[in-house]
Structure 1
């Protein structure tokens, strides 16, 4: 009987070492190909996810059109945003993907909130500097007027040109949200925790003093009140910053940006209610969010541009800016030295409990 017949059906003759090596190499290649396919599928998912979220953001076209490149401030490391809140008083959103009312009616809207927000190049620190809406400034082509009139006269392009002329800080991106969008975004985030310095009522909504968890309606009343506050618009500016600080602190302290699921939920709510310039692409938005993963709330400075007081110009109540102090602050913004500037002027920082 041959050797072949003596072998059991399950037996196989010994495999040469060279064949075993070839089979091992093939197995390794199969594993690598499988891993590569998974990576490509994951990457495709990220791209689709990024596009889904980015497409929710309302885009303002030609925001930087008409700006003379030779007259603009020099670019700096990091990114600087001009954040604007409009006072359209519409009950429906006028910004973001959920907008149902016009997002800009020429001559009808002024910017009620004006903030210059700068993120350091390493993403580990940031600053937010508010400019009171009644600040008396030169608006190119329109002479001296309240700074918020620039948005009414010429929309985002004139607003950017006015702020760049005033601060000598280059604006990289423009973002806008209206009051209806702010209210809905606050609700989507689950509300905000703030310490209210003084009980106030606005639009029939009362916000009690002390630590409060505010839903969208109460948060909106909180940031819109000024007549009941001793500091008027200055106190309202601090409340606006306090609300922003609460939203950011909630996101950063809970590790939201380091958790893909929580980061998605946060960005999903924000992108539905905010409008940005069309130069901020979907990949740019994703890169921005990822770049903030090491940012901590304690490394964000909240300030209001220095002023010398208030007065009147014709029938208008205005705020006069402190030109020398302002130049020092904006120089600090341009050189990523805001924390040092604020450390030397502790009273300039947003207090823990604004009025």
Structure 2
């Protein structure tokens, strides 16, 4: 029942916090680059198709109320007009009263019901079937929470952002090789492709997923540090072009500017990762990531509490 998942194509193996980097990179530079940043925000903004989530009684204010954001990492081939699949699905919840943020990666192979489709399927198929709208409703049903906003990035453009910065510096914890790329213990300069490979490797890491998460955080901090340093000011034209071409969100530009003032320093504190525990399981010849009902109830309770919502009955029963 615990067979390993089949290998994923290297270019489609995406790292946990990629979307969060882009979203908060925008927040980090928002105070510096004025006019062109406003143009970029207008370019990435996609007005919402609904006033609020069906799981909300009232509309929320992103800077005053606890809110949730679904971050989608998709592999779209624009030249083929291919919608692709959401290889990364992450939910972040922000509580302005607590000045805290929680982020939770939903494994792409998670076994769940997709609204409007018969039977169970992998949750990342929802985007291929119905775009952002179906991806949002599928996550809402899986977690029993409202999704208030979304942000989507086409992953083909992410390596270019790192390359525009001139690469990033990391501290490699031990020697390893991954996808024909050698990494030596100690300080190392990585270009876009190497940085993604550095964050992908898991099996050779003594800490497994935990070690991979640490390396992901290294790269994220390196991008934010370099992207907001004076040495990168001359590159912001190209950086904003890449963000404009590859990021879409229904968070209004005015709200992104307001968020920047509130969460400017959040990257270094009060940020927590929530893990979804489950196991790989073969069902009808296909591998899925199966999350037990008790675990699903636990994470639902934790996220709903952070959103300051009443806990559902299933979650409440786990306390007994």
Select the residue among 297, 315, 322 that pairs with 2:292. 322
3-state secondary structure, aligned to 1:153: helix
Distance 1:271 1:283 in 2: 17
Question: How far did residue 324 of structure 1 move?
Answer: 1.8
| Structure 2 residue aligned with 1:246 | 218
Equivalent residue number for residue 82 of structure 1:
70
Q: How does 1:56-135 map to 2 (within 5 A)?
A: 56-57=43-44, 59-60=45-46, 62=48, 64-65=49-50, 69-71=53-55, 77-88=65-76, 90=77, 94=78, 101=79, 105-106=82-83, 109-122=84-97, 124-135=99-110
Pairwise mapping of residues 261-340 of structure 1 onto structure 2 (< 5 A)?
Answer: 265=236, 268=240, 271-277=243-249, 279-307=250-278, 309-336=279-306
Distance 1:230 1:75 in 2: 46
2-structure distance, mates of 1:198, 1:119? 37
Q: What is the alpha-carbon distance in structure 1 between the residues aligned to residue 67 and residue 177 of structure 2? A: 36
Number of matched residues? 266
Q: Deviations over 1:3-46 (max 9, x none)?
A: xxxxxxxxxxxxxxxxxxxxxxxxxxxxxxxxxxxxxxxxxx98
**C-alpha RMSD of matched pairs (Å):** 3.9
Structure 2 partner of 1:342 = none
Shift of 1:52: 2.3
Kept in 2, the 8 Å contact 1:185–1:273? The answer is: no
Label 1:68 to 1:112 Cα distance change in 2 as closer, same or farther (>3 A).
same
Give matches, 1:190-209, under 5 Å: 190-192=166-168, 193=170, 195=172, 199-202=176-179, 205-208=180-183
CA-to-aligned-CA distance 1:152-204 (integer Å, 9 cap, x gap):
111110000000111122212211222322111222344343646672433xx
For the 8 Å contact 2:66–2:307, the answer to whether it is kept is no
1:207–1:218 Cα contact (<8 Å) kept:
no
Alpha carbons 2:42, 2:253 under 8 Å: kept: yes
* C-alpha spacing 1:289/1:69, structure 2 compared with 1 (3 Å): closer
In the alignment, what sits opposite 1:188? 164
CA gap of 1:160–1:218, structure 2 versus 1, over 3 A, is same
Q: Compute the displacement of 1:295 (Å).
A: 1.2
Q: Determine helix, strand or coil for the equivalent of 1:54.
A: helix
Alpha-carbon deviation of 1:47?
6.8
Alignment partners' CA distance in 2, 1:82 and 1:223: 21
The answer to which structure, 1 or 2, has the higher relative contact order (CA under 8 A, 6+ apart) is 2
* Residue equivalent to 1:347: none
Distance 2:209 2:286 in 1: 18
Q: Secondary structure at the match of 1:305?
A: coil
* Residue 287 of structure 1, CA deviation: 1.6
**Larger gyration radius, structure 1 or structure 2:** 1
1:162 equivalent in structure 2: 138
8 Å Cα contact 1:87/1:179 also seen in 2: yes
Whole-Å separation in 2 of the counterparts to 1:287 and 1:301: 22
Are 2:93 and 2:307, in contact at CA under 8 Å, matched by a contact in 1?
Answer: no
Structure 2 unaligned blocks of 5 or more:
1-31, 309-320
My pick for the range that moved more, 186-195 or 76-85, is: 186-195
Task: Measure, in 2, the Cα distance between the counterparts of 1:242 and 1:74.
Answer: 38
- 1:139 corresponds to which residue? 114
